[in-house]
A and B are shown apart, each in its own frame.
Chain A
Amino acid sequence: MIAQLVLNGFVTGLLLALPALALTLTFGILKFPNFAIGAMLTFGAYAAWVANSLLGMPLAVAAVASAVVMALVAMLCDVLVYSRLRDRGSITLLVSSLGISLVLENICRFAFGNATRNFAFEVARPIRWHGLRINQEQLITAIVVIACVILIQLLLHASPLGRAMRAVADNPALAAVRGVERQTIARITWCIAGCLTALSGVLAGLDRAVDPLLGWNYQIPIFAAAILGGLGSPTGAIVGAIVIGLAEELSSLVLPTNYRQIVSFAVILLLLLVRNRGLFGGKAVRK
């Protein structure tokens, strides 16, 4: 029973890892938390659903298509909105991301209504292994997320682009002196964030179903994961996501399942009280 919960929690955590990673990457470069992350997830899920159910692509191809679409949408948001507001401070960016979140979510609602949609995808029997039930969706989630995480870590730590991204996150002025343009790096980061959230949208849609509030339901856990890891730390976001996933699943031992979302909120509050730098650095206190 507990082993099953741990397994489920681990997979839930992996699902959170991609958007938490996206959130933390954009925070590192642009120094504002993107409140549109949930809406981007929803939008990605709908993009995949359109490609999969309406255009008849296999789900894997649809997921790639949705990642490409979302990367473009994220870049478009940056070109049209974020880059124009970059000098106005993080609060303005924060509020503008709320605006973008409303726009993205309601484009989906306007086009497809509030009905829940499912991907055209064969449901397979769960695998049984030493008394554990492993769903096919869980297996897919684990493989996709672990692959993405390895790719991102390789990108960040073993490529010139990753070095440039880390340089801009660390000290934009110094990076600029060395010829690394913040604007270009910011755009590329938005593309990566778009891809990651779109993929997580597809995985979330597999796990639940696609509806306009899909991403909103993950919003607080995503933030909890990123804050737990220390906003701006990619490794921290992944570890944070797994901790949040485990905490949410294991909470069902003591709490009614309706209160799962409160767990993430409690983690955030507790963390801000006790260790406001998160697990992996980052500064939270103003003065």
Chain B
Amino acid sequence: MDRIPVLRMGPLLLITIQVDMHDKLAIQLQDDVTNRISEWGSTGVLIDISSLEIVDSFIGRMLANIAAMSRVLGAETVVVGMQPAVAITLVELGMSLPGVQTALSVEAGMELLYGAVTTGPENERGEA
């Protein structure tokens, strides 16, 4: 059975979900994440769902579970890149994923996990 790869980047775990997941794959991912956090002592989990065109209640619960389990193991989770149509549908479905932190992009997600403050491009240009 194929798995969704969990990559390590320093203290972070990086997961990019690109396939239309069937339920077993989702459960496998939950297991893998918790195992890896234990194994590598990760303190942050970044899940990129920018390619996901559908998030139903099962996947939504998976994301909430990963966030909750990771927190118990001492790691923070950020879900990034949710597509507008998906966000609108999830809300209509009744899911708000309260325990899950979110960010617009992988970059923003990493800043959140590293605790950095967004400074914005104008500082680089030298303008006020």
Tell whether A pairs with B: no
